[in-house]
Every structure is written in C-alpha cells, then in structure tokens.
Amino acid sequence: MKAFELVRRCILVPLGCLVMSCIFVCIYWIATGCRYGVTVCSGVFVKTLPYTMILSGLVVILVTVAAVRRISLFRRAMENCRENGADEDNLRELDRALKRLEKNKEVQKLLRASALLGCGLYDECCETLRYIDLSGLTSADEEEYFNMLIYCRLMQGERELAVKLYLECGHYFKRALSRRTGTSHIRHTVGMIYYTVGEYGKALKLFEESKQNADDNLLCECDLWEGLCYLRLGRAEDARDAAVRASYRIGDSRQEKSLGHLIRAITAFVNNVSEGSNI
C-alpha cells in the first residue's frame, strides 16, 4: 500500500465516526419524538464523541497493523526470491502476498515484475511487463513501468533498443526527473542511457543525484557505473576510488562480477598508459 493511501484511510475513519455520531444524535432526536432542541442534542453529541473517537482510534490502529503486515509479507516474499531464487514455490508465495497487498491487478503485475527484476530475471520481467495495461496504472506507476523496461533491455545488452525506447517515452522520464524525491532508480537508469550514448558527464551527474535516499544496493550500482564513466574520461584515480566505494557495498554475485570487470578495466587502462609513457 502506498503511503498516501494509508494516510487517506486513516483520515477517513475518524471522519466517518464523526458522521456516525451525528447519525446517532438524529436517531436519538427522532426516537424521543423530536421534542429536544439543539442544546440537548449537542449535549448528546458531545457525550458520544469520546466513544466514537476511541472507536476511530482502534480502527486506525487495526488498519495500520493490517497494512504493515501485508507490506511485511510482500517484502519477505521478495527477499526470499532474491536470496533463494525465483522458483515455482517462491513465486507462488510472492503472488499470494501481492494479492493481499494490492487489489489492482495491473499494479500486482508491476510489483511482480519488480521482484523478478530484483532477482536478475530480466526476460521474465519483460514478459510480465508485456501483459500490463497502462490504463490501470497511475502516472508514477507508468514511470516505473518504463524505467524497468528500459533497465531490463540495458542489462540484456540490447542497448540500441533501450535507447530507442527511451527516446519514444522520454516524456515519462522528464516528468519523473522534475521531482526531487522518489526517483533514485529512474535517475540511475537515465544515467545508464547517457553512458550508453557516450554522454559521460551527464551520466555522472545523474548517478550522483540517484545516490540521494538510495539503499546500499543502488549505491553500489551507482559507484560501479561512475567507475566506468571515469574510466571512459581517462580519470583512472577517480575510477579506482569508485571501485573501492563499491567494494564495501557488494550485495550479490552480479555486482561482484561487475566490480571484477571494472577493476580489470582500470588495471588495463593504467598499464596501457604506463607503456605509452615509456615508449
């Protein structure tokens, strides 16, 4: 459940209880033959108000606990897929958690695609994205949809297709980048696009921006890509520093492999520069 949805429900519950208090007063007024005036009815309302507020508080607590539990089950299912693999049993557990977390089927598919992406299953992620009806998504969900699609294509090595997709749906990314928060992953993906087309300076700027409010996994990705950018710009020392930063945040075998590739590339670059200076 999104944060604003939880807040909306928490606001609606006490308002609903206040309305119920008014209804109770109306029932009391009618049941007593409509012989009491505003003063008496106001007194009844004031007396019932503490009980309705207590009731609303209990309802808010129950709604919050239920929402937190659904979110926790979903996150546990995602972590289980990442750590133990997205086999049939783990995916079935993930689907059960998704159905409890989100009623919108299109958002369910989007969250499932995100879980598959986190497992490194890019083909399966793209296949899930194929069956999503964009009309059932919010504007923020649309941005995440195209972000995942382009990221998957980049990770699959389909760079030309990724750049083509980015050019076709660039307005979604432009809209996302206009916001200051909540777009770390999108900024990272756009940074990858800029790296792909050789705009290393712009890529570095976006990787640095995406580090704000990022977790260790994304921070590691940013450091690795920054290292590649610095290497392309001939800044071996900066590339080495980025590799060192990334080494402290390695979270999986893919990142470890990427770090090894970066270190070998830095070493080869330094050796080539040394050989050139000795000629």
Residue appearing with tokens 């996994």: 217
More confident residue, 97 or 275: 97
Q: Is 127 helix (H, G, I), strand (E, B) or coil?
A: helix
Q: Is 46 exposed, middle or buried (0-12, 13-18, 19+ CB in 10 A)?
A: exposed
Residue 1 has pLDDT above 60, yes or no: no
pLDDT band at 279 (very low <50, low <70, confident <90, very high): very low
pLDDT tens, position by position, 145-155: 999 999 999 99
Please calculate the CA angle 172-225-204 and round it to the nearest 5 degrees. Answer: 65
Q: Averaged over 137-146, what is the pLDDT?
A: 91
User: Range with the lowest mean pLDDT among 137-146, 191-200, 256-265, 267-276?
Assistant: 267-276
* Mean pLDDT across the chain: 82
More confident residue, 16 or 171: 171
Structure tokens at 236: 């071996």
All structural domains of the chain with their residue ranges: 215-266
**What pLDDT score was predicted for residue 17?**
66
- Rounded alpha-carbon distances, angstroms, from residue 158 to 79, 144, 164, 196, 234: 27, 19, 10, 11, 26
Residue 25 has pLDDT above 80, yes or no: no
**What pLDDT score was predicted for residue 86?**
66
Q: Are 25 and 41 in contact (CB under 8 A)?
A: yes
Structure tokens at 128: 């899930």
Residue 262 has pLDDT above 50, yes or no: yes
pLDDT tens, position by position, 40-61: 767 766 677 666 677 766 776 7
Residue 199 has pLDDT above 70, yes or no: yes
**What pLDDT score was predicted for residue 74?**
73
Q: Averaged over 206-230, what is the pLDDT?
A: 93
**What pLDDT score was predicted for residue 30?**
77
pTM: 0.73
Q: Are 176 and 183 in contact (CB under 8 A)?
A: yes
* Tally of CB atoms within 10 A around 49: 13
Residue 233 has pLDDT above 90, yes or no: yes
More confident residue, 175 or 68: 175
Residue 270 has pLDDT above 70, yes or no: yes
More confident residue, 159 or 65: 159
pLDDT band at 136 (very low <50, low <70, confident <90, very high): confident
